[in-house]
Amino acid sequence: MAYYHNNTIIYLNGAFVKAAEATTDYYSQSLHYGYAVFEGIRSYRTATGETKIFKATEHYDRLRNSARALNMPYSWDTDELIKATYEVLQRNNLQNAYIRPVVYAPANMSFNPNNESYILIAAWEMGLFLGEKLLRVMTSSFQRPNPKGFRIEAKASGHYVNSILASQEAKAKGFDEALLTDMNGYVAEGPGANVFFEKNGKLVTPPAGNILPGITRATVIEICEVLNIPVEQRLFTTDELKQADAAFFCGTAAEVIGWQSFDEVTFPAKWENTIGRKIQQAYKDRVTEAIKGELVD
């Protein structure tokens, strides 16, 4: 996939520059040690035709918190970065897009802290997904990183080696995606998404502690409050998940996506009749600022 072309513009440390001409330092702790933090954000063309970044403040606040959790200097203002992001979208003529801010370190091959950090904001086209294709998910042989070894609540680049290993393993075995457990064997999350299951009209999702507490996860919980759907945040095992009526992943890129099966066990509920499907629709309405069920082109 082509993420950029000759005229693509990125925001780089206060300036708008061509992606094809931008340079970076090859002696950075970010490249060598995975010492960087990032965000994954989406913008949508709304029902009225405007371009709107979904939960922009929440994402840039998390970026700052991630940087602080890793002792990376962070002096940017959230509103200033949101403004720069809208300008990136506008300069690249994007409405439905995926936005990738990265905060990275200067040249430094030691493990010592730095006096400054750098930032880049890139964006590329990504349409509303909300796929009807249901996922076949397997339990990964990889566990999520031990929270005593990492700042697990931070969206740190280095953590994603774990995600890549898990996702590649699942795909090599013919599945669509992996589900990772935590260091104690309880269900944690997917490589890039949080998990919910449905049982007897209730939703259950793992609590904070061993997961990246996603912004989409928080949105799902908000939607459940509005729709009067009970949600429990608690630990559970893969065995309990196999007994569920239905399950779904949620994340900025994945949005809300249902599961067909877990470790080859097919869920009994038809996706069309699940709470997940209702939430998927409500999520779409939120991101596109549509009145319930209104079609958006």
Task: Find the helix or strand (DSSP H, E) in which 205 lies.
Answer: strand 202-205
Report residue 183 as tokens. 């260091």
Q: Are 97 and 118 in contact, with CB atoms under 8 Å apart? A: no
C-beta of 70: minimal distance to ligand PMP in Å?
A: 16
Report residue 202 as tokens. 């209730």
Residue closer to ligand PMP, measured from CB, 8 or 216: 216
Tell me, yes or no, if 173 is annotated catalytic: no
Report residue 79 as tokens. 């509103």
Cα separation values, 203 from 182, 200, 208, 251, 276, Å: 20, 8, 16, 16, 9
C-beta of 145: minimal distance to ligand PMP in Å?
A: 10
**How many other β-carbons are positioned within 10 Å of the β-carbon of residue 93?**
11
- Rounded CA-CA distance 177/174 in Å is 9
C-beta of 180: minimal distance to ligand PMP in Å?
A: 8
Residue closer to ligand PMP, measured from CB, 12 or 256: 256
C-beta of 65: minimal distance to ligand PMP in Å?
A: 12
| Chain residue at closest Cβ approach to ligand PMP | 214
**How many other β-carbons are positioned within 10 Å of the β-carbon of residue 13?**
11
- Residues facing 12 on adjacent strands: 15, 120
Nearest C-alpha neighbor of 16 from the set 24, 6, 4, 8: 8
Residue closer to ligand PMP, measured from CB, 117 or 163: 163
Catalytic-labelled residue, pool 155, 199, 278, 292: 155
Residue closer to ligand PMP, measured from CB, 9 or 203: 203
The residues that touch ligand PMP, with contacts defined as CB under 6 A, are 40, 163, 189, 192-194, 212, 214-217, 251-252
Residue closer to ligand PMP, measured from CB, 106 or 213: 213
C-beta of 114: minimal distance to ligand PMP in Å?
A: 24
By annotation, the residues acting in catalysis are 155
